[in-house]
């Protein structure tokens, strides 16, 4: 049922995104607000996928108000996820650590907030630390054209400690005041619409999507559509994982059983009847202006060695971040003669079919990020010599791939002449060995060295020095200006006047 009657509009809880540099306290702030301990459960203490949480805040009069928080990763690899968070949110909190100041990701997050044109609050965190310098932090923000109230601008600022809770009540109150001023509202009688926050593959319940409802209500038995993906709302959970029958705007929910993996960040719509949902998908496919997910751009020709990679991750947003990080890895040195190419990607555990699908790609690597592998898949990979590596922290994955790039890249062969000698006499010769005498003109000649045999500036063959003498005494090196006798192993007959060039080969 759809109705646009303004009388049905009511106040809607704000959706708030927390953004800022890594380790400036985003997850710790949410931990304190929700009285849970998400940060310690995250690998390395780093949030590596978008999560949504709903909290209730009581004001001084005892009135309860709901706020939905989006937690976004701080590491630069997750910029797409941060951008998506800002587009979906109503209010942004830019968090800056008072002991660390403004960082590159702080500025990047601010640019995303400014471009999204959503109201913002700056939270200066870690004021409990002895190294905290609030005034310096505010001045650094002003230098980056982030102007706070009383510092040349209108951006409200709250000083907090996510560790001990100082200032957090003020922050929550300010969020609700800002929401009231912005007059966020919605209509519960409309069919729900909103955005996809995250997707993953549940081994028991299929494709799962986390959604944020921005308008209307979603009830059990309705049908949700994301572009060409479709799902019935038979199974709905709130952000705590509890089964629910209904949800309304600003609520983060999870629904199970999509027929295709929905695109993260895409809008969703809901319908009372499945036939209406199917008609919407048909119209979507036929509309010329709709983007087509999975479009592969033409590849440019390259002379570089391609190292194929398959990516499997627990959630699709993480796949984006990993791909961005892999694209940055370059082979070292002037040659830069190798690159990674992602030939397959997916959400969920690594299966035997994954191994079989890429087994024809020589030298392939499989990266598993926060996923497991089937026993049969591991056995197949071992038989076919496919490298599989598992990670749960993006930095470790990057470091390992850099090492693999160095190991697998092709080496450029360089030849350096280290000595030149002129043949003065040619003596006895067998089928493949010959005794000659000469003088070192440049550099040095060494035992067991390989030489080019030059005649009138052209190479006519190569040989190996198997014996070297000076004054009939066996030696290993003859320096520049000295005469020598040598036995050389070669199929070429050496003549008086030929030049022997000793060389070494390096692989760079």
298 in any annotated domain: no
Which residues pair with residue 313 across a beta bridge?
347, 369
pLDDT(9) > 60? yes
**Edge-to-edge, what's the strand order for the sheet holding 252-258?**
229-232, 223-226, 267-271, 193-202, 206-215, 252-258, 236-238
pLDDT of residue 204: 78
pLDDT of residue 128: 92
Q: What is the C-alpha to C-alpha distance for residues 283 and 356, in angstroms, rounded to an integer?
A: 36
Residues 398, 357 within the same domain? yes
- Total-model pTM: 0.62
Tens digits of per-residue pLDDT, 19-56?
Answer: 887 777 877 888 888 774 444 445 555 445 556 788 88
Tens digits of per-residue pLDDT, 298-327?
Answer: 344 446 778 888 899 888 778 878 888 888
200 in any annotated domain: yes
Looking up residue 370, the CATH number of its domain turns out to be 3.40.50.10050
Which residues pair with residue 478 across a beta bridge?
445
pLDDT of residue 301: 42
pLDDT(295) > 50? no
Residues 211, 235 within the same domain? yes
Domain count, the chain: 4
pLDDT(5) > 60? no
Residues 243, 326 within the same domain? no
294 in any annotated domain: no
**Helices 316-328 & 79-88, crossing angle to 10 degrees?**
140
Residues 152, 21 within the same domain? yes
pLDDT(334) > 50? no
Domain that holds residue 99: 8-184
pLDDT(70) > 90? no
- 405: confidence class by pLDDT, cuts 50, 70, 90: confident
Determine the Cα angle at 297 with ends 329 and 369, to 5°.
45
Residues 197, 146 within the same domain? no
pLDDT of residue 296: 36
Looking up residue 127, the CATH number of its domain turns out to be 3.40.50.300
Residues 480, 362 within the same domain? no
Tens digits of per-residue pLDDT, 424-448?
Answer: 999 888 888 999 999 999 999 999 9
56 in any annotated domain: yes
Among 387, 408, 429, the domain-final residue is 408
Task: Say which residue, 295 or 228, is predicted with more confidence.
Answer: 228
337 in any annotated domain: yes
pLDDT(358) > 90? no
Residues 259, 371 within the same domain? no
Which residue, among 270, 376, 263, has the nearest Cα to 320 in the 3D structure? 263
SS (H, E, C) 220-261: CCCEEEECCEEEECCCEEECCCCECCEEECCCEEEEEEECCC
Residues 68, 160 within the same domain? yes
Mean pLDDT, range 394-421, rounded to an integer: 85
pLDDT of residue 45: 52
pLDDT of residue 38: 43
Mean pLDDT, range 152-157, rounded to an integer: 90
pLDDT of residue 85: 67
pLDDT(222) > 70? yes
With contact defined as beta carbons under 8 Å apart, do 233 and 197 qualify? no
With contact defined as beta carbons under 8 Å apart, do 40 and 238 qualify? no
Task: Say which residue, 256 or 199, is predicted with more confidence.
Answer: 256
Give the three-class secondary structure for 6.
Answer: helix
pLDDT of residue 7: 63
pLDDT of residue 292: 45
Which residue, among 103, 106, 49, 112, has the nearest Cα to 394 in the 3D structure? 49
Average pLDDT along the chain:
83
495 in any annotated domain: yes
pLDDT of residue 81: 57
pLDDT(410) > 80? no
DSSP states of 296-319: PPPPPP--SEEEEEEEEESBHHHH
Q: What is the C-alpha to C-alpha distance for residues 372 and 203, in angstroms, rounded to an integer?
A: 11
- 63: confidence class by pLDDT, cuts 50, 70, 90: confident
With contact defined as beta carbons under 8 Å apart, do 22 and 74 qualify? yes
Residues 329, 470 within the same domain? no
Residues 246, 354 within the same domain? no
Looking up residue 204, the CATH number of its domain turns out to be 2.40.30.10
pLDDT of residue 360: 66
Among 157, 184, 211, the domain-final residue is 184
297 in any annotated domain: no
Among 385, 408, 431, the domain-final residue is 408
Residues 177, 220 within the same domain? no
Residues 59, 135 within the same domain? yes
SS (H, E, C) 173-217: HHHHHHHHHHCCEEECCCECEEEEEEEEEECCCEEEEEEEEEECE
Mean pLDDT, range 472-495, rounded to an integer: 93
What count of other Cβ atoms lies within 10 Å of the Cβ of residue 207? 21
Tens digits of per-residue pLDDT, 173-199?
Answer: 999 999 999 988 888 889 999 988 888
18 in any annotated domain: yes
């Amino acid at each position: 049922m759809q109705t646009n009657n303004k009388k049905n509009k009511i106040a809607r809880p704000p959706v708030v995104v927390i953004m800022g540099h890594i380790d400036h306290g985003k997850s710790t702030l949410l931990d304190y607000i929700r009285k849970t301990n998400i940060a310690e459960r995250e690998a390395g203490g780093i949030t590596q996928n978008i999560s949504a949480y709903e909290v209730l805040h009581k004001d001084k009069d005892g009135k309860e108000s709901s706020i939905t928080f989006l937690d976004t990763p701080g590491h630069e690899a997750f910029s797409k996820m941060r951008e998506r968070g800002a587009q979906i949110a109503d209010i942004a909190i830019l968090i800056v650590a008072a002991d660390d100041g403004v960082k590159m990701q702080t500025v990047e997050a601010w640019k995303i907030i400014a471009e999204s044109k959503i109201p913002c609050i700056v939270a200066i965190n870690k004021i409990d630390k002895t190294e905290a310098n609030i005034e310096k932090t505010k001045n650094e923000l002003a230098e980056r054209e982030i102007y706070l109230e009383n510092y040349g601008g209108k951006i409200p600022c709250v000083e907090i400690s996510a560790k001990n809770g100082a200032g957090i009540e003020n922050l929550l109150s300010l969020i609700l005041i800002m929401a009231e001023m912005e007059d966020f509202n919605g209509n519960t009688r409309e069919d729900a619409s909103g955005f996809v926050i995250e997707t993953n593959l549940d081994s028991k319940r299929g494709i799962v999507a986390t959604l944020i409802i921005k308008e209307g209500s979603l009830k059990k038995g309705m049908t949700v559509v994301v572009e060409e993906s479709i799902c019935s709302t038979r199974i709905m959970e709130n952000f705590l994982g509890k089964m629910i029958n209904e949800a309304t705007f600003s609520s983060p929910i999870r629904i199970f059983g999509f027929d295709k993996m929905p695109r993260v960040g895409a809008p969703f719509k809901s319908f009372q009847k499945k036939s209406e949902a199917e008609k919407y998908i048909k119209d979507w496919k036929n509309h010329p202006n709709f983007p087509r997910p999975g479009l592969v751009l033409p590849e440019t020709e390259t002379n570089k060695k391609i190292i194929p990679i398959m990516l499997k991750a627990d959630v699709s947003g993480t796949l984006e971040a990993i791909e961005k990080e892999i694209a940055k890895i370059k082979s070292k040195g002037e040659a830069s003669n190798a690159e990674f190419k992602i030939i397959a990607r997916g959400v969920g555990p690594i299966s035997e079919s994954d191994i079989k699908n890429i087994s024809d790609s020589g030298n392939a690597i499989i990266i598993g990020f926060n996923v497991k592998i089937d026993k049969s898949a591991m056995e197949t990979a071992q038989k076919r010599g496919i490298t599989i590596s598992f990670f749960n922290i993006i930095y470790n994955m990057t470091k390992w791939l850099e090492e693999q790039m160095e190991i697998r890249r092709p080496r450029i062969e360089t030849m350096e002449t280290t000595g030149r000698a002129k043949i003065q006499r040619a003596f006895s010769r067998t089928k493949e060995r010959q005794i000659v005498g000469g003088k070192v003109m440049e550099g040095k000649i060494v035992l067991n060295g390989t030489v080019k045999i030059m005649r009138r500036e052209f190479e006519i063959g190569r040989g190996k020095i198997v014996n070297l003498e000076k004054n009939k005494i066996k030696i290993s090196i003859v320096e520049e200006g000295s005469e020598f006798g040598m036995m050389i192993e070669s199929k070429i007959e050496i003549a008086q006047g030929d030049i022997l060039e000793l060389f070494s080969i390096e692989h760079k």
